[in-house]
Structure formats: structure tokens, C-alpha cells
Chain A
Amino acid sequence: MSKNLEFVKFDKVDKSYDGKVLVVKDLNLDIAEGEFITMLGPSGSGKTTCLMMLAGFETPTNGEIYLDKNPISNIPPHKRGIGMVFQNYALFPHMTVYENLAFPLKVRKFQKDEIDKKVDKALSMVSLSGFEHRMPGQLSGGQQQRVAVARALVFDPQVVLMDEPLGALDKNLRESMQYEIKHIHESIGVTVVYVTHDQSEALTMSNRIAVFNDGKVQQLSSPDKLYEEPVNSFVARFIGENNTFAGQITDMSKDQCKVKLNDGSEIIANPISVKTSGDKTTVSIRPERALINTKEKMDNNFKGKIEEVIYHGDHTRVRLDLLGNKEFILKVPNSSANMDIKMGNQINVSWNSHDARALDPK
């Protein structure tokens, strides 16, 4: 089956609430059929607005949204056939679990036995069979969450939107629900648009992630690419931990550049969004890509002073004063070879220039 790669299409969408500030700026986004895409970004970045426009609760100020090639701006929400899981579940508190799930089927005039069958199936999918006659208030947060997911899926919508559905759950439950939602997505193949500000949630669940900031998509790629190869310093900062050096390009070759840092030292980096020498840049290195006292040959080798050691069980976080950056973080795996990490010690730190990405200076 050939998949429609433009199942949902945002075409040059702008959105403003007050006529002065654009909340969403020139958004172009294609979502493939059956994809699990996450809109990730800090609060106020426009991701929820995008979701609301797709659901039909907000209208784009400019541009058009297409669902399976049909423009939907003029279709009211109840005719779009899009399932939605809300932030606080939005279960109808005066209806039982069964009635909640039957609601979308009843308004679609399904027969009673068909409703029963579909509700049964949806409940067993979220492993809540037997809870039909409970009221939402009698369920735990996690169970309510699952009912909300089941309700959004029970009428076989083309697209399911999820607006920070796990935000109200505690950490353990959130993690197990992440897997559960992921498995449901994999088993029924529905297109999911998921909004969250939690990057680990986005990384574990999605096929692709759209990182939002300031009303714009900063980067749209798979989780691993997003983490390993951020295209700008916002994404590098926002996703995962990140050590940065501000500096200026002094020498530029095809896949390497020299960066002169503010304290005068020079490092070799991988040019991503810098063009010529003289450009200002921010170099980003992931904490786990810099190694201490390594025997491997790497093209950046420096000495740093240990400022702080935090024991994390399986690994140790070490904060260094390195090349003028007092916030340089290292993650050292917990092994007997690294027992000499003590505050105040000088240690050797090395990394490959490929992992030091020279990005925009912001």
C-alpha cells in the first residue's frame, strides 16, 4: 500500500490572535499517513495552536490546511473526523466509561450492537475491559488517560491529535503510558499528531519530531537525527544536554573549521550553519561525546579542572572548567577505571571534531 506522504499538509499557515503578534509563522509541514509526529517546543511556541487549527477550534489567519488533499479550514470540528486526546482528558464526568466511548458512535448513528462491539474492542486495546460502568471520577489518572485514548480511537478516525496527554501523570506512569500509546499506534497504524514540551517523551515515541520555537518549525527530523545532528543552536540547546563554546571561525575547509574561542584557544569543529571564516558561531558538543583520559586518537585534546562531581549511580556527572566554560558537563560511565575523579583534579578531555557542531551564534 502506497502511503500518502502529504496526508496532513500545513501550507503557509499563519496564525495571529490579536493582529499584532504572529503565533505561528509561515508553517509548512507535511505529515505522512500512519506517521507518529510530535510537535515539540517550549510553552508559547505555537505548537498547541497548530494542533487546535488542525482540530478546527482555531482558524488559520492565512494559508490552508489539507487533510487527505482536501482543504479543511471551512469544515467545522465535528465534521473533520479527527480524534483528539485533551490535556486533562476531558472525559465527560456525568457519563460512564461506556457512555463516554459510545458518544462518538452514537452521534454517528451506529447500531447498538455495533457500538458494543467497538467499545469492547477499544477498551481491550487499552486493557480496561470490565471498566465499562465506572464513572471517570472513580478511575485513577492513568486509567482516565487510557479511556481518553480509547475514546479518541473508538470511531476509527483518520488522524488522532494528542495535546500533552501525559502531562498530569507521575513519572513512572508517564513512561509506561508512552510505550502503551506507541504500541497502540504501531498496531492500528493511525496517524498521530502529538504535542508535548517533554523532549524525552518526544524522542521515545515519535517517527518524526517537529521542534517549534517562536512560531516556526526549527527542525523536522527523526529523533536520532534531531539529537545527533541539530541544525541550529536552539535545537541543540532544547534537545538533550549540550556544552557550548562561543567563538569565531578562523579557518574554513570542506568538513572542518577552526574556531577561535573567547579565551584565545582554538578548537576544530564541524561546520553546520557557518559559511566563511570570520562568522560568529556557537559550537555544541554533547556531554557523552567528550571523553576523559581516553586512549583513542581524537583531534581535540584539552585539560580541564573538575569543579563538581555528582554521583548518579550508573554514571557520574562531572562539571569542568574547560577553555573558559565553567559549565562544561561530562557524563562518565561508572567503571573502576574512573575512580580518580575528584574535585580540583586536572584531567584530559578529548572529542572528535565531527561531534563539535559549529552552529549559528544565538
Chain B
Amino acid sequence: MSSESKQILTTDGIPLEVSLKKAERKNKIKAFLLVAPLLLFLLITYIFPIGDMLMRSVDDKMVTQMLPKTFKSMETWDGKELPPEEVFEAFYLDYKKLIEEKTFGKLSTQLNYTKNGFKSILKKLQRKMKKFEEGNYKEQIMAVHPRWENVEYWRAIKRRAPAYTSSKYLKGMDMYVNEEGKIVNVAEDRRVHRILWLRTLEVAFFVTLLCFLMAYPIAHLLATLPMKYSNLLMICVLLPFWTSLLVRTASWMILLQQQGIVNDFFVMTGLVADDARPEMMYNKTGTYVAMTQILLPFMVLPLYSVMKTISPSLMRAGKSLGGTPFIAFWKVYFPLTIPGIGAGCLLVFILAIGYYITPALVGGASGTLISNQIAFHMKSTLDWSFASAMGLMLLAGVLAIYWVYNKLVGVDNIKLG
């Protein structure tokens, strides 16, 4: 039809669309200016650090830049036998430069990550190199220590040539690239991270489950009690929320320790013998108890806000139509609370998976989680790139869970209020 193709004009003859855009431009600019500070804030404090983390986790430029000549000369080396003289010479020149700049220590640390045993032979080399004569560096270097005659060590150096590496991610999964360049698992007795990942998932799952089981009745009570009681109960739920996390965790330590109040009570009531007090802290039990308590409000609040919107007449309708109280609950009330359950579980699970302080304080050895490991590498070993890699793996895990969740429940079904 002609009216479809014909442009609609305003009374002044300007095309309607143009006029509309003009009229709304001002509002759009205003709206953008309003959100601009937040956008900037997000960019600076969220997007940028994550990008930086990503870079750090794959960055392997340090060695590349420390040994430029060596890697250049290694390009033609096939890695089957000991490298030719040029490589040894290039390595000698590079290392000499590092000694002059007094940064050779970093190299030994870095190479030692790749293969154990580098530290001592590099140190020895540094001492002996002062007396090196010009020419025939291959023999001179090999004479310093028999390990320099081992082709494996040269292969290890070559593996550090690329500026980017996935080794940190592999390490996070207890895997590494072996001498043949294949990805393999580390020895069984040295696999720490996989256990931690699984434990983190396990703890997050059970904490979510426990929170759900406890929060559902509380939220229901909150939503159905008359105002004056429900306000009081709400304050009880929120009170821990307003108390410092550290204080709450510390109070759990007082309660749960072997000479603590809970154990005293068990002994007093004769549940356990005085010399067989159960350990409830510095293990998984402590982590479960404290984390469940701390994360409970995050489950109660979304559930409550959803339950508040469910008319009590729906349950009555269910009953008046012949459903037993259980059927009325299960077929009518429960399905309507699913958005709240979804929101609460997702919230608690994601918070639990990255939880740090509580497991660090009450978790002990068997109750620490992946975030504690990340913190350990941030603060103690200073292996920031490894910490970044694990942080990103955690982020990816959370996003994956979110994706699965979206497929199962649908994000549109989440209701926080």
C-alpha cells in the first residue's frame, strides 16, 4: 500500500521520525549523563581490573624480554639434541646483561617455575661466568654444572619463549605442559587445586541447600505473620547482617571450639564424653555452620519478597477446591515461590563460591576454599599471574553456572523484590 511507503510528515513538513529523534535527543543525552558516572566507575573498577587480570594471567613477557637473543637463536633449534654454539653464546650474552643490571635473580625464579633445579645452576653460572673466556661458550657453560649438559633444561628455556602462556590455567587445574609439550596431570600426591575446586563447589552447594531449607520456613513466616510480629522477626533476620562479618565469624569460633559453648553443652547434657569432644572448627563443619549462618539473609530476603506477593487466598482456593494442605502447598504455593528460590539460591551459591574470610578463619586445612588459595598466592607467594588465572577461572565458573541456571530456570524468572 502507498501509505506504508509514504513518509509521515509533521504539520511543519519535517519527517515525523526526524522530528521525534530531535525531540528525544535531549532526554537521551540527559539520561546518558545521569548514568555516565556509574558507567565510568564500572569501567575503572570492574572492567579494567578484570582486563588487567586477564592480561596478567596469560602474560609471560618477562622471560621473553630477559632472554631476547637466546630465543632468537633458538628459533631454528629443533630441540632434539643440545642446542648449537650460537644459542649458548646468545644465552651467555643475555645472562651477562642481566647480571650487570642485577635482575638475574628474577630469571632464576621464573625458570625454576618451569623446571626445578634452575636456581642453583644459574647461581653457579653467575659465579663462574666472571672467569669465562671469549669463544666456545658451549663447553664453558656445560663445564659449570652437569645439568647444563642436559637437553631438558634447554627445552625448558625454549618453552618460555612465547610472550603468552596458558600454563597458569593448567596449573590451576593441576596440569602442566611436560617436556614433550603435552598437557598432562601432575603427580597424584601434588594435586591440590582440583580438590579445592571440588571442595568449593561442594561447600557452596551444601551451604545453598542448608540456607534454602532454613530460609524457606522463616520467609514464609515473615510473609504471613501480622505486621507487628513480622517486623520483629525481620529485625532478627537482619541483625546479623548489620554486624561485622569478622565479629560474627569470631563468635562462631567461640561457640564451636573444642572448649567452646556448644561442646560444653554437649558434654553437660551427656551427649558426648568430656574427653571425646567433637572438632567442629578448623574443618568443613565449621565452614558449613558459619557460612550458612552468614549467608542466610541472602536467601531469606528474596524468598520473603516473593512470598509477600502471593495472595493468601490462593492457598485457600487450593484447599477449598479439595486439595489437602500439602497438595495446596506443593501445587500452588511452591511453584509460585520458584522465582524467589532461584534468586536466593543463585545469590547464595555465587557468594559462597567466592567466600574468603569465614573459611580462612574457621575452615582450617580441610575447610579452606579456592578463594583462600587465591589470596595465598596474592599475599604469600606473590605469584599474581597464577592468582589472576584462578580468579578468572572462578569468574568463568560463576558465569557458567549462571548460564546453566538461565537455561534451567530462566533469568526472567528471578525476582529479587
Contacts and interface: CB of A to CB of B under 8 A. Distances in A.
Interface string B308-338: 0001011011111111110110011001100
A88 B313 contact: yes
Contacts of B336: 93-94
Contact of B322 (A57, A91, A155, A161): A155
Contacts, number: 67
A358 interface: no
Contacts of A93: 336
Contacts of A56: 319-320
B105 to A, nearest CB: 66
Contacts of A278: none
Interface of B: 311, 313-314, 316-325, 327-328, 331-332, 335-336
Contact of B313 (A80, A86, A107): A86
CB-CB nearest 8 A-B residue pairs: A104-B321, A90-B317, A90-B313, A84-B320, A77-B319, A86-B313, A78-B319, A107-B322
B54 to A, nearest CB: 42
Interface of A: 55-57, 76-84, 86-88, 90-94, 103-104, 107-108, 151-152, 155, 161
Contact of B320 (A55, A88, A92): A55
A19 to B, nearest CB: 16
A81 B322 CA distance: 7
A80 B323 CA distance: 11
Nearest to B323: A107
28 contacts: A55-B320, A56-B319, A57-B319, A76-B319, A77-B319, A78-B320, A78-B321, A78-B325, A78-B328, A79-B322, A80-B320, A84-B321, A86-B317, A88-B311, A90-B311, A90-B313, A92-B314, A92-B317, A92-B318, A94-B336, A103-B321, A103-B323, A103-B331, A104-B321, A107-B322, A107-B323, A108-B322, A155-B322
Given A94-B335, A103-B331, A86 B325 contact: no
Contacts of B319: 56-57, 76-78
A35 B308 CA distance: 38
A98 B288 CA distance: 45
A161 to B, nearest CB: 8
Contacts of B324: 78, 107
Contact of A107 (B311, B314, B316, B321): B321
A78 B317 contact: no
Contact of A92 (B322, B325, B327, B332): B332
A103 B313 CA distance: 15
Contacts of A90: 311, 313-314, 316-317
Instruction: Give the most central of A55, A57, A87: most B CB within 10 Å.
Output: A57
Contacts of B313: 86-88, 90
A79 B322 CA distance: 6
Nearest to A81: B322
Nearest to A103: B321
Contacts of B322: 78-79, 81, 104, 107-108, 155
Contacts of B325: 76, 78
Contacts of A152: 321
A81 B323 CA distance: 10
Given A78-B325, A90-B314, A83 B331 contact: no
Contacts of A80: 320
Contact of A77 (B311, B320, B327, B332): B320
A160 B336 CA distance: 26
A94 to B, nearest CB: 5
B316 A77 contact: yes
